[in-house]
Structure 1
Amino acid sequence: MFRRTFWFTAGAAAGVWATTKVNRKIKQLTPESLAAQAADKAIEAGHRLKDFALDVREGMVRREAELGGALGLQAPVDPELPVTGHIAVDPARPAPTHRTLPCNSNNRNEDH
């Protein structure tokens, strides 16, 4: 009698365990769950890409400073000039203007 009870209980426990595992897997494979998992992976990849870009930029700045020092290109920047980005702008000089080329509507090479 004890054997039958033991095996019945073991079978019931295995059935409950298997049913639980199957239900969890089914919930993971729903379209909403798959979309959420894909979004999480994309966000994680974006963070890794951002970290990589910051590391590359830091390395570029460090290497540029090393090369500038080795070549003697360390020019002091005038603190009076306003800085836009990394280029100092002289307010006495006008900003360069960019010419736009005329558009030729008869040019058939535009599509190629």
Structure 2
Amino acid sequence: MFRRTFWFTAGAAAGVWATTKVNRKLKQLTPESLAAQAANKAIDAGHKLKDFALDVRSGMARRESELGEALGLHASDDPELPAQRRPAAIDRPRHPGNKRPDNKHSYNRNEDH
């Protein structure tokens, strides 16, 4: 009798375990789950790509400074900015060749026609 009970319990446990595994796998294969997995992998790939780009950028800066030192190009830490350009004057002086007075409008050819 003990033997039958043991095998019955072992079979029931194996059935529950197999059913649980199959249900989990079916839930993983639904379209929503597949889309979520793809999105997670894309996000992970983006993070890895960003980390790679940051590593490359820091390596480039380090190598550039090494080359600058080797070639004797010492860039100052605080480079001087170029001089600020003057803003354009709003009221420009009239050109000396302009004979027209300031209070009259220019001649309009369409007035005579």
Instruction: Flag whether TM exceeds 0.5 (same fold).
Output: yes
Look up the match of 1:73: 73
One-letter code of the match for 1:66? Answer: E
TM-score, length-normalised on structure 2? 0.70
Residues 30-51 of structure 1, C-alpha deviations (whole Å, 9 max, x = no match): 0000000010000001001000
1:58 alignment partner, SS class: helix
Larger Rg: 2
TM-score, length-normalised on structure 1? 0.70
Per-residue deviation, 1:72:
1.1
Structure-2 change in CA distance of 1:25 and 1:2 (3 Å): same
Per-residue deviation, 1:91:
3.2
Identity of counterpart residues, as a percentage?
81
Distance 1:6 1:60 in 2: 68
Distance 2:19 2:83 in 1: 74
The structure with higher relative contact order (CA 8 Å, sep 6+) is 1
One-letter code of the match for 1:42? Answer: A
Distance 1:51 1:75 in 2: 28
Gaps of 5+ in 1: 82-88, 93-112
Distance 2:41 2:75 in 1: 45
User: Superposition RMSD on alpha carbons, in Å?
Assistant: 1.5
Structure 1 residue ranges (4+ consecutive) displaced by more than 2 angstroms after TM superposition = 89-92
Look up the match of 1:91: 84
Distance 1:37 1:11 in 2: 34
Residues 41-99 of structure 1, C-alpha deviations (whole Å, 9 max, x = no match): 00001001000000000000000000011111113321xx1xxxxxxx5534xxxxxxx
Q: How do residues 3-82 of structure 1 correspond to structure 2 at under 5 angstroms? A: 3-76=3-76, 77-78=79-80, 81=81
Distance 1:57 1:91 in 2: 31
Number of equivalent positions: 84
